[in-house]
Structure 1
Amino acid sequence: MLGAMSDLSKLLDDTVRPTVVKDLSDLVDRTVAAQSGLTGMAIKSAVAAAKKADGDVVSKSINRFLPDIVDSLAPHWNDYDAEQSAGFGNFLASRQDDVTNDVLTLGDRFAQQGPAAVQKVYSSLRGKTGKIIAPALPEFGDIVERHAK
């Protein structure tokens, strides 16, 4: 499905990218806000500290790493058949373990490029990341599909 990849690369187009970044940033904010317990407090504190240093840190990070995110999604997008699935979000959710591993691989790479404080927080939360990411996969996939069309 060669055409599918060209559609996914549309997310990087100058006319589409700002909206993709905004929608994904909003998803991150909602996902962080929905966290509870000790992990939720740790995540919320880490994000709040990052935002205190730079109010646009989430959107800047998404924008910076969007090409890597697109590359990571490409195999899933290429396997996706819109005719046979109930949306790319549900498709990603049905491959939750693989997608979560891909996200963790990206997260590892991103954290290594960040300051020591980010690396420390990320490493302490990494094991719980799958439980945080999984519920957001349907909406994440829907955002990607909406902008790739």
Structure 2
Amino acid sequence: MPTLKEIAAQGDKRQTVVREACTVLDQEVADKSGVTGLAIKGAYKIVQGVKPGFVPEVVDHLLDDFLDALDPLYQEALEQQKKPSVHLVEQKGRMADALLAITDKRAENAQRKAIKKAYEKLRPSAKKHVEAAAPRLGEMLDRHAP
């Protein structure tokens, strides 16, 4: 079976996936509320303000690692004859751990202090927010890697 990266990160499809992932990110941030939501929205504004197009650039840079991290869950879904979205929601804890391991490593080596500081501030509550994104991420997988 082809890997998730082979399916969703090649040619024109890659840019479509990057754009859609940015839309998912925007939607997830917009949905946040309360004090934590304000902190997340503030941190996201800092990241967006680094330079025009910075968020899509970062998403594109992380895409291969994210797809590699999600591939075991994707392959399990196929083996179990489930839609990837269903399996991703069922395994949202594993999904969040896999994706956060990548961002943790990147944040550790971040050159921009403001980004590193914002990440460190939000990291303690990050898993629940990544888990909350499972339905949207799963729907995106269904569209691009059925």
Which residue does the alignment assign to 2:74? 77
Structure 1 CA distance, aligned partners of 2:69 and 2:43? 25
Q: Which of the numbers 105, 114, 119 marks the counterpart of 2:116?
A: 119
Deviation, 1:29, is: 0.4
Checking the alignment, whether the CA contact within 8 Å between 2:46 and 2:114 is kept in structure 1 is: no
Aligned CA RMSD, in angstroms, stands at 1.7
Q: Which of the numbers 82, 92, 99 marks the counterpart of 2:95?
A: 99
Residue 11 (structure 1) aligned with residue 3 (structure 2): no
What is the 5 A alignment of 1:1-149? Answer: 3-5=1-3, 8-81=5-78, 84-85=81-82, 87-114=83-110, 115-149=112-146
Structure 2 CA distance, aligned partners of 1:54 and 1:82? 42
Deviation, 1:28, is: 0.1
Checking the alignment, whether the CA contact within 8 Å between 2:5 and 2:68 is kept in structure 1 is: no
Checking the alignment, whether the CA contact within 8 Å between 1:25 and 1:62 is kept in structure 2 is: yes
| Count of residues in Structure 1 that have an aligned counterpart in Structure 2 | 145
TM-score by length of 1: 0.88
Deviation, 1:10, is: 2.0
Deviation, 1:71, is: 0.9
Deviation, 1:8, is: 4.2
Unpaired runs of 5+ residues, structure 2, are: none
Checking the alignment, whether the CA contact within 8 Å between 1:92 and 1:141 is kept in structure 2 is: yes
Checking the alignment, whether the CA contact within 8 Å between 2:107 and 2:116 is kept in structure 1 is: yes
Unpaired runs of 5+ residues, structure 1, are: none
Structure 1 CA distance, aligned partners of 2:109 and 2:124? 19
- Runs of 4+ deviating beyond 3 Å: none
- Using the aligned pairs only, state the percent identity: 26
Checking the alignment, whether the CA contact within 8 Å between 1:89 and 1:138 is kept in structure 2 is: yes
- Equivalent position amino acid for 2:93 in 1: D
Checking the alignment, whether the CA contact within 8 Å between 2:19 and 2:56 is kept in structure 1 is: yes
Structure 2 CA distance, aligned partners of 1:49 and 1:126? 15
